[in-house]
Amino acid sequence: MRIQTGTRLITLTYLVLALGLGLSLVAFSQARSDKLELLALQLQAKDQVALLKGGIEQLSRSARSSVITGEDGFEQAYLRELEVNRSVDKAARRLRGLSLSLQEEQLLRQVQSRAAALIALQRRAMALARAGQADQGRELLFSVGYDQQLRQVLEPGDRLMQRLQGRLDDKVEAVVDRAQLAWRQSVVLIGLAMLFALVLLLVVVPRSVVQPLLLLERRMLQQGVTEQPSLRLPACSAQEIHDLAHALGAYERAAQQLAFDQWAKTQQVRIGQLLQQAGSSEELARIWLSELAALLEIGAASFYAWVGGEQPLRLIGSYAALDRPVRLHIGEGLVGQCARDRTPLVLTDPPPDYRIRSGLGDAVPAMLLVLPIIGEPRLLAVVELASFTPLEPRQRSLITDMLPLLAALLARFSQLDALQPAMP
């Protein structure tokens, strides 16, 4: 019964090691996810502070232009920014959604209160200009005191950005430390498992399996192969050998999963850095689709953006996708249906009319993957991917894990486009 007892001990040891390794991998994966979320929050905080300051500066430019020229277009642009775009109010509301600290909340209130006083002064100057007292209006908006008051409005916004950046940097550093600790624990557990496997192969297996089998062979040769051996050894069933092989296979699968997770993390960080360098949504789509095609052997892909309302989806990027429609309405085709339902679509063995074409020929893809990119609370884009080989669940998770960063960057470009001043 020694082999059976040893098998139980081996299984228990590997279960403990696998449990520890699993917990370490979960902690590592959670830390990686937390880091991506914090990076997205950093981008959101930076963009909202820029939107806050940009709205204040836009109001000042429009007010000054209106007083100088007397043209209605500048006053209309001022009112549109103040009453329709409401960049200052929207940015303040979104910043409060980031769970500001007490000091950060006080700085945001300072910006809002001082901005309200500045807006009152701008309205007074434009009213004087409309009443024919343009000189007095210009004196209000082009004085040293006005410039000082404008700086006093923007200065708390700069300090707010510094505090937010510092607080989020500290959180990112803490998450990185947690990920490194989980990674070190995983390495230690893998080392222990390898050491245990080495001891098992060099000591336990020869003593418990190989030596008894060799002894049995010698006894049978001594007494004749047709006779029963006089020495009866402990049972060494095929099931016990199978259980040992199963435990080794579980360790191999865990090691492969750990290697893939590390590779996926490296690729996500690398692609994330490339995406943050994009200067437009079109460049963002091009970079992401090209990198995915190289990593996962995507045969063709398309990237449709949506601005909302009754507007159709607009093609802003593609990879090896020929004859794709430039615009698609909500509910039209798989892309339009995904935009309507806001849920991923996975189609295996698609019909023959779905083909990937190139200069050398064409073929039916093995899988179609259609994913919505959602930035709370609205749909931002839909991505369609076609692959010659079915994507494994962990390959699809590599794609879906990057969707929050894509949503944050697309929202950023959308806000920057809305901030551009309209032509009078």
Encode pLDDT of 187-243 as tens digits.
Answer: 898 888 888 788 777 776 666 655 665 665 566 556 554 444 444 444 455 555 555
Q: What is the pLDDT of residues 355-393, one digit of tens each?
A: 676 655 577 888 899 999 998 778 899 999 988 888 888
The percentage of the chain sitting over the pLDDT mark of 90, rounded to a whole number, equals 25
DSSP string, 195-232: HHHHHIIIIIHIIIIIHHHHHHHHHHHHH-TTSPPSPP
pTM, rounded to two decimals? 0.44
Ordered alpha helix ranges (H), 204-347: 205, 211-223, 238-276, 281-296, 333-341
Contact in structure between 27 and 182 (CB atoms under 8 Å): yes
Interior/surface letters 249-275, b for 16+ CB within 10 angstroms, e for the rest:
eebeebeeebeebeebbebbeebbeeb
Q: Round to whole Å and give the CA distance between 414 and 313.
A: 15
Question: For domain 279-419, is the CATH number 3.30.450.40?
Answer: yes
pLDDT recorded at residue 422? 46
pLDDT one-digit tens code per residue, 200-216: 777 766 666 556 656 65
Which of the four pLDDT bands, split at 50, 70 and 90, describes residue 398?
Answer: confident
Q: For 49-64, what is the mean pLDDT?
A: 90
| % residues pLDDT > 70 (the chain) | 83
pLDDT number for residue 38? 86
Q: What is the pLDDT of residue 109?
A: 93
Which pLDDT score, from 0 to 100, does residue 211 have? Answer: 62
Q: Answer for the pair 301, 384: CB distance below 8 angstroms, yes or no.
A: yes
Average pLDDT, stretch 285-299? 89
Confidence tier at 3 by pLDDT (50, 70, 90):
low
Parse the chain into domains and list their residue ranges: 1-277, 279-419
pLDDT tops 90 at residue 303:
yes
Give the tens place of pLDDT for each residue, 89-136.
Answer: 999 999 998 889 999 999 999 999 999 999 999 999 999 988 888 889
